[in-house]
Amino acid sequence: MLSQEQAEHVRKQILEQLEKLPQEEVGDLKKEIQEASAEELEAFIGQLQKAQKLTKECIFCKIIKGEIETVKIFEDKELLCILDIAPASKGHALVMPKQHVQFIQDIKPELLAKLFHFIQSLAPVLIQVLNAKALSIYIPQGQLAGQRVQHFFVNLIPRYENDKVSIVWDRKQEDKKELQRTAEIIRKAAISKIVKELEKEKEKLLKHEKAKKQEEAEKIYKHVKRRRV
Ligand SMILES: [Zn+2]
């Protein structure tokens, strides 16, 4: 556990680093670091070190940093779209966030929205320019699901007649009661959690808006006060 003195030292160092980054990228992080307890700061450093280690070993991160050559379709500050070097079919593209995260739950909602907005625009174009008949959009999550690289990515696989791409499974008949039981398990655990998370997000947003309004009100107040003097 960090002592208070160590924590202050670490806090100062992190804040200095954050100053060097574009402010729109930093967002609320600066405030979070300013207000974090020693324990929270320690957890933050732990996460950072883990992320750095993962980034160092990750093939996609190496591609993003330009250490491994690749065929790029699109790139901006946050997203990268490349062609798979061992494609399932002609035009097999991979879309990923530049930040190293493995699972969908680790991506910030705004970035995930941007990523899917990009896919929404690219999907029909891919089909059209490649004369494909359809498109498989496939997101493996975990090794067993075929996630070869532990960096979140979406496969866009253009589909052609007899392309021998296989994303199929046996369709088993399931007992209705068993379906009900499964649904109940998911509903009980997941839905209440999701609703809670959405409410938390909403609260955060409202707090942010309130703070912003207060800031504006203070600005106006100062302005009026100055004019009075
Ligand atoms: Zn990575």
pLDDT (tens digit, 9 = 90+) per residue, 32-83? 888 988 888 888 888 888 777 777 789 999 999 999 999 999 999 999 999 9
The pLDDT of residue 77: 95
**24: containing domain:** 4-57
Position 168 in a domain: no
Determine the distance separating the centroid of ligand 1 and the alpha carbon of 55, expressed in angstroms.
5
The pLDDT of residue 228: 67
At 195 the three-state DSSP class reads: helix
Name which residue leads in pLDDT, 147 or 55: 147
Please classify residue 18 by burial: count the beta carbons closer than 10 Å to its beta carbon, then call 0-12 exposed, 13-18 middle and 19+ buried: middle
Token pair, residue 115, equals: 């990523």
Determine the distance separating the centroid of ligand 1 and the alpha carbon of 97, expressed in angstroms.
9
Pair (53, 70) in one structural domain: no
Pair (93, 147) in one structural domain: yes
User: Residue 229: pLDDT above 70?
Assistant: no
Position 179 in a domain: yes
Pair (133, 213) in one structural domain: no
Position 165 in a domain: no
Could you give the C-alpha distances from 14 to 7, 48, 55, in angstroms and in order? 10, 11, 19
Pair (91, 44) in one structural domain: no
Determine the distance separating the centroid of ligand 1 and the alpha carbon of 8, expressed in angstroms.
31
User: Residue 139: pLDDT above 80?
Assistant: yes
Determine the distance separating the centroid of ligand 1 and the alpha carbon of 103, expressed in angstroms.
11
Position 90 in a domain: yes
The pLDDT of residue 122: 97
Determine the distance separating the centroid of ligand 1 and the alpha carbon of 202, expressed in angstroms.
30
User: What is the C-alpha end-to-end distance of the chain, expressed in Å?
Assistant: 51
Average pLDDT score over residue span 190-202 = 81
pLDDT in tens, 91-105: 999 999 999 999 999
Determine the distance separating the centroid of ligand 1 and the alpha carbon of 189, expressed in angstroms.
30
User: Residue 87: pLDDT above 90?
Assistant: yes
Average pLDDT score over residue span 156-160 = 97
Pair (153, 188) in one structural domain: no
Sort residue 162 into left (φ over 0), alpha (ψ -120 to 50) or beta: left
Pair (70, 149) in one structural domain: yes
DSSP letter string, 3-67: -HHHHHHHHHHHHHHHHHS-HHHHTTHHHHHHH--HHHHHHHHHHHHHHHHHHHH-HHHHHHTTS
Could you give the C-alpha distances from 156 to 75, 87, 90, 136, in angstroms and in order? 16, 10, 11, 6
Determine the distance separating the centroid of ligand 1 and the alpha carbon of 101, expressed in angstroms.
7
User: Residue 27: pLDDT above 80?
Assistant: no
Pair (109, 154) in one structural domain: yes
CB atoms near residue 129 (< 10 Å): 10
Position 167 in a domain: no
Determine the distance separating the centroid of ligand 1 and the alpha carbon of 167, expressed in angstroms.
25
Determine the distance separating the centroid of ligand 1 and the alpha carbon of 77, expressed in angstroms.
15
Pair (78, 53) in one structural domain: no
The pLDDT of residue 88: 95
Element (H, E) at 198: helix 192-228
Determine the distance separating the centroid of ligand 1 and the alpha carbon of 58, expressed in angstroms.
5
The pLDDT of residue 187: 87
Given a contact cutoff of 8 angstroms between Cβ atoms, the answer to whether 154 and 121 are in contact is no
Average pLDDT score over residue span 105-111 = 93
Determine the distance separating the centroid of ligand 1 and the alpha carbon of 199, expressed in angstroms.
30
As a whole number of angstroms, the distance between CA 174 and CA 197 comes to 32
Determine the distance separating the centroid of ligand 1 and the alpha carbon of 53, expressed in angstroms.
10
Determine the distance separating the centroid of ligand 1 and the alpha carbon of 48, expressed in angstroms.
13
Pair (72, 91) in one structural domain: yes
Alpha carbons within 13 A on the beta-carbon side of 16: 6
Q: What percent of the chain is modeled with pLDDT above 90?
A: 52
As a whole number of angstroms, the distance between CA 135 and CA 127 comes to 7
Pair (51, 81) in one structural domain: no
User: Residue 158: pLDDT above 80?
Assistant: yes
Structural domain ending residue among the three candidates 57, 82, 100: 57
CA Rg, the chain, in Å? 23
> What is the pLDDT of the chain when averaged over all its residues?
89
Determine the distance separating the centroid of ligand 1 and the alpha carbon of 111, expressed in angstroms.
16
Structural domain ending residue among the three candidates 35, 57, 79: 57
As a whole number of angstroms, the distance between CA 37 and CA 34 comes to 9
Could you give the C-alpha distances from 155 to 60, 81, 96, 189, in angstroms and in order? 14, 10, 9, 29
**Number of domains forming the structure of the chain:** 3
Determine the distance separating the centroid of ligand 1 and the alpha carbon of 98, expressed in angstroms.
7
Highest mean pLDDT, choosing among 26-40, 51-65, 101-115, 215-229: 101-115
